[in-house]
Amino acid sequence: MNRRNFLYSLPAISASGVVSVSQNQSLSNVQAIATWDNQSALQGCDQVLTQNGYALDAVEAGVRVAESNPDDLSVGYGGLPDATGKISLDACVMNELLRCGSVSYVRGYAHPVSIARGVMEFTDHVMLVGDGAEAFAKKKGYERRKLETKASKQAHKEWKKGASSNNHDTIGMLALDRQDRLCGACSTSGRAFKLPGRVGDSPIIGAGLYVDGKVGAAAATGMGEQVLTTLGCFHIVELMRQGSNPQAACELAVNRIIEAFPKSADQVAFIALSRRGEAGMHARYEGFKVTILEAGHIRVIDASHTQ
Ligand code: GLY
């Protein structure tokens, strides 16, 4: 059912007073949603959901597909490296009960999303970084992998020669299972050619991902520094708690970023899913695509944008 519904009539107002909701619509009957054209990743998620599986297993399975895809230059294997040519990965997960796990600056492991889940399930911490995250992954036996590919090495060479790069397409995935459990995950290699040690929004709970199983969930993609500055995903879920529909909430979060960074040319975008299966998606600039699973069908749609 590909219909758009007008779900709420009340405009949502951001804390800064900006009311700039261009659409105020949400998609309904959405079971899962992912940033960008991530059809095979969402198929991985769907396989778990159709077997009556847990939404956390579904988003983990889906994100692992993207992490294994060398053609995805911003996630996992074959992601673009930092300024020194090394690939470091960030990921996090969050479940319907506000439990979460996160890793950042992980090198040499295939599936940071699973390590993040391990942090949630096997420790009483939320986040592990760098050497500590890798020591944890080693102890738990997570799959090691050399992450660099010919293409990622070549891209680094070209960047060193002066080529510019604006590659930025974190995978964020949100899913609602048949028992109405809402969970999310995200994974990225971060900004291409970043300073070594740079951490973006994706592994930060509230910035790149936030889930409140009683309300809704949101995930971000794009310029992590801007999402970090505004804690975009927490902002979206709180707007939803106050009555905004997911579409309106995404638009307000993007507009908050525009207020904070008015001259930026960087893309930033959000997806959101309510606990009732209503989805929203919005970007600062044209070009943001979203993959959705609704009534068992996967399709890619263009998100709305503010500028
Ligand atoms: N949004 C991913 C990052 O900036 O690292």
Cα of 274 from ligand 1 centre, angstroms: 23
Burial (Cβ within 10 Å: 0-12, 13-18, ≥19) of residue 141: exposed
How does pLDDT run across 82-93, given as a tens digit for each residue?
A: 999 999 999 999
For 147-175, the pLDDT digits (tens) are 999 999 999 999 899 877 666 679 999 99
**Structure confidence by residue, pLDDT tens digits, 23-76:** 557 899 999 999 999 999 999 999 999 999 999 999 999 999 999 999 888 999
Residue 226 confidence (pLDDT) above 50: yes
190 in contact with ligand 1, CB cutoff 6 A: yes
**Catalytic site includes residue 229:** no
H runs (alpha helix) in the chain: 39-50, 55-68, 112-122, 130-140, 150-160, 224-230, 232-241, 246-260
Could you give the domains of the chain? 3-305 (3.60.20.30)
Q: Contact at 8 Å (CB) between 246 and 272?
A: yes
The reported pLDDT for the residue numbered 24 is 59
44 lines ligand 1 (CB under 6 A): no
Mean pLDDT of 184-197: 96
Higher model confidence: residue 49 or residue 4? 49
Report d(CA 182, CA 212) in Å as an integer: 8
Q: How many CB atoms lie within 10 A of CB 9?
A: 7
pLDDT tens-digit profile of 94-115?
A: 999 999 999 999 999 999 999 9
Distance 213 CA to ligand 1 centre (A): 24
Average pLDDT, the chain: 91
200 lines ligand 1 (CB under 6 A): yes
Burial classification of residue 164, based on how many CB atoms lie within 10 Å of its CB (0-12 exposed, 13-18 middle, 19 or more buried): exposed
